[in-house]
């Protein structure tokens, strides 16, 4: 009898683990590596500005900010998968995704979206009044992005705008106000994400044209789309340089800037208009390393100067 009970409990745990992994895959949880480092920068820069004078333990606020990031991003990604399920089922590149692949139903995906939206708003309530007021605005931006490919090639900029809320949002969570330096970090994220999303969209140039979907590659073609991406990444680099100047950072910060710009350039060396074989390497590996490396050196600068 005891053996049977243990077997049942083991099967339940296995089923739960499988369900969690399905939803983590649905929202591409590993891609959190793009915006999360900038959220950490915004958070700890805010703590530095107020000299850690919080009315509660900083680590508690830190947990709330991380939860907000996870809930908001999960809602946005799941909503995108829910809305695009019909197109994903037609695209050879995306047909194996969770909804068209029958792994997660559209109904369960939408329930997941709603739960994460509610959790996000509730979490902002425990941070501060300004975050709570801005929470619906943030949700609108990150959910609205999913519709933009249906009517504008500027969809990449809307995605960038959604992720750019991370550093300024984390800063507001700490300080309860806006400031120039975190806004510059947000601008850097906006241009950076928009640029590498254009590179990623190169894979679907023909599919987008056939199905009347809008993107920079489908509008301009691969070669000119890459030029637009390069310009956006130039603006991203300019933004982190400006943040360093106005934020009065020291040598460690500038090492981070050099590494960040290096990986911006590197991804453009990987991808050519007629050779998209290294798009995934440029999209995930290069940009993931860029954000983490930059974050490490910025945080070292903040902690050492503090």
Locate the domains of the chain by residue range.
Answer: 31-305
Question: Distance between CA atoms of 195 and 203, rounded to whole angstroms?
Answer: 14
What's the pLDDT score for residue 56? Answer: 82
DSSP 249-266: --HHHHHHHHHHHHHHHH
- What confidence tens digit (pLDDT) does each residue in 189-248 have? 999 999 999 999 999 999 999 999 999 999 999 999 999 999 999 999 999 999 999 998
Structure tokens at 23: 């939803």
Question: Distance between CA atoms of 157 and 179, rounded to whole angstroms?
Answer: 22
Within 8 A by CB and 6+ apart from 255, the residues are 297
Can you count the helices (H) and strands (E) in the chain? 14, 0
Q: Check residues 16 and 210 and name the one with the higher pLDDT.
A: 210
Question: Distance between CA atoms of 246 and 138, rounded to whole angstroms?
Answer: 26
- What confidence tens digit (pLDDT) does each residue in 149-169 have? 999 999 999 999 999 999 999
Q: Which CATH superfamily is domain 31-305 in?
A: UbiA prenyltransferase (1.10.357.140)
Question: Distance between CA atoms of 260 and 291, rounded to whole angstroms?
Answer: 7
Question: Distance between CA atoms of 70 and 78, rounded to whole angstroms?
Answer: 12
With a pLDDT cut of 70, the percent of the chain lying above it is 90
3-class secondary structure, 95: coil
What's the pLDDT score for residue 271? Answer: 87
């Amino acid at each position: 009898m005891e053996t049977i009970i243990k077997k049942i409990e083991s099967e339940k745990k296995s089923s739960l683990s499988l369900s969690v992994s399905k939803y983590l895959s649905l929202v591409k949880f590993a891609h959190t590596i793009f915006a999360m480092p900038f959220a950490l920068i915004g958070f700890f820069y805010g703590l530095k500005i107020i000299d850690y004078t919080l009315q509660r333990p900083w680590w508690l606020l830190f947990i709330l900010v991380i939860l907000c990031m996870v809930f908001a991003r999960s809602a946005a990604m799941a909503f995108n998968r829910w809305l695009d399920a019909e197109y994903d089922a037609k695209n050879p590149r995306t047909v194996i995704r969770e909804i068209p692949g029958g792994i997660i139903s559209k109904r369960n995906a939408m329930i997941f979206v709603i739960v994460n939206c509610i959790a996000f708003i509730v979490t902002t309530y425990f941070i501060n009044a300004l975050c709570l007021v801005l929470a619906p605005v943030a949700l609108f931006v990150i959910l609205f992005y999913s519709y933009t490919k249906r009517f504008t090639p500027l969809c990449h900029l809307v995605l960038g705008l959604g992720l750019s809320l991370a550093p300024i949002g984390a800063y507001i969570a700490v300080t309860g106000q806006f400031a120039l330096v975190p806004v510059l970090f947000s601008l850097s994220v906006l241009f950076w994400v928009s640029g590498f999303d254009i590179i990623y969209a190169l894979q679907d140039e023909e599919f987008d044209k056939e199905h009347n979907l809008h993107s920079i590659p489908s509008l301009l073609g691969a070669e000119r789309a890459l030029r637009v991406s390069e310009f956006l990444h130039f603006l991203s680099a300019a933004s982190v340089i400006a943040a360093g100047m106005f934020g009065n950072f020291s040598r460690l910060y500038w090492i981070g800037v050099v590494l960040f710009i290096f990986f911006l350039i590197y991804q453009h060396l990987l991808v050519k208009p007629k050779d998209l074989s290294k798009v995934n390497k440029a999209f995930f590996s290069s940009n993931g390393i860029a954000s983490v490396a930059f974050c490490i050196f910025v945080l070292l600068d903040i902690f050492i100067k503090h």
